[in-house]
Amino acid sequence: GCHRPLSIYIHKVGDAKNIPNLLAKAVPATATYFMTYVLTSGWASLSCEIIQPFPLLCNLFYRYILRNMDDSSYGAYTFPYHTEVPRVLLFGVLGFTCSTIAPLILPFLLVYFFLAYLVYRNQILNVYVTEYDTGGLYWPIVHNTTIFSLVLTQIIALGVFGIKESPIASSFTIPLIISTLLFNEYCGQRFLPTFQKTPTKIIIEMDRKDEHCAEEMHQKLQSSYCQFRSRNLNLHDTSECSNKPQSVLSSAEMGDVARVEDLENSTSALPSLFK
């Protein structure tokens, strides 16, 4: 019983060597499905993007049913990066992986990318509202997806050449995979630190929030200090205590005066840190 899962794992590891061959056999069988997917989800999504049915219905509902003519209540939306960017990347992966086995999908993808360029360019420039610029933070995602597509395509090509029993073509494909991975590592070390900076708009908003919290933190510091003092000494009494001669003040009072003066110095310098 205990050795059975181990044998299953060993069998799966042994089958991992046949992954290129399995991909080379499985991808052509799904080519028809992916072509249909490009036609339905790709071309149809572009038409819906042009028509904008949901904002159109909201506009009609506000204008003719609620009689609300204020455009601010149903204004333009921001560009849906969370749905459109993954769709475009998925079509790119399909184009790379199916190009070697089912090249019939390439004309459909070519038409899709041409129409997508026209549609998204018009929508971003004339329809959607750009709230702030992220400084190209989506570019590493696009780069990693493209590298993954290239490696997957080369692995599938390696499997195809293995099925065709072409050792020369297979031997030339392996350096391509290694070169692609090395290029990805070079791009990660050379260009990735550029995209790890926070956008300026977010930093400005954080600074403004800190400026609003500075006065509140200043008051909390004073109240928190007064809660834990052991003697009944007010902050305003320090002037009276400081006017006394040092011979009249006790050692405890002198210690309290010193601590209160240090607190005033630190709290007075606190708001300048948030400017």
Query: If you average pLDDT over residues 239-247, what whole number do you get?
Result: 48
pLDDT for residue 246: 46
pLDDT for 3 beyond 60: no
Under the banding of pLDDT at 50, 70 and 90, the label for residue 240 is: very low
273/48 Cα distance (integer angstroms): 51
Instruction: Report the pLDDT value the prediction gives residue 247, as an integer from 0 to 100.
Output: 47
How far is 80 from 82, CA to CA, in rounded Å?
Answer: 5
Note if the pTM is more than 0.75.
no
Q: Which two structure tokens, joined as six digits, stand for 222?
A: 């004073």
In the predicted structure, residue 83 carries a pLDDT above the cut 80: yes
Q: Which of 82, 81, 65, 85 is nearest to 73 (CA)?
A: 65
In the prediction, which pLDDT does 225 show? Answer: 57
Classify residue 198 as exposed, middle or buried by CB count within 10 Å of its CB (0-12, 13-18, 19+): exposed
Phi and psi based region of residue 214 (left: phi greater than 0; alpha: psi -120 to 50; beta: remaining) = alpha
Average pLDDT, stretch 244-269? 54
Q: What is the pLDDT of residue 249?
A: 47
The arithmetic mean of pLDDT across residues 177-188, rounded, is 94
Q: What is the pLDDT of residue 160?
A: 81
The pLDDT of residue 196 is: 72
Opening angle at CA 223, ends 219 and 225, nearest 5: 120
Phi and psi for 164 in degrees, rounded to 5?
-75, -5
DSSP state of 126: I
Q: What is the pLDDT of residue 224?
A: 63
> Smallest Cα–Cα separation from 184: which of 136, 134, 149, 137?
149
Mean pLDDT over 245-251 rounds to 49
SS3 content of the chain, % helix, strand, coil (to 5): 80, 0, 20
Mean pLDDT of 86-112: 89
The helix or strand, by DSSP H or E, that contains position 214, with its residue range, turns out to be helix 200-227
The pLDDT, as a whole number, for residue 103 is 86
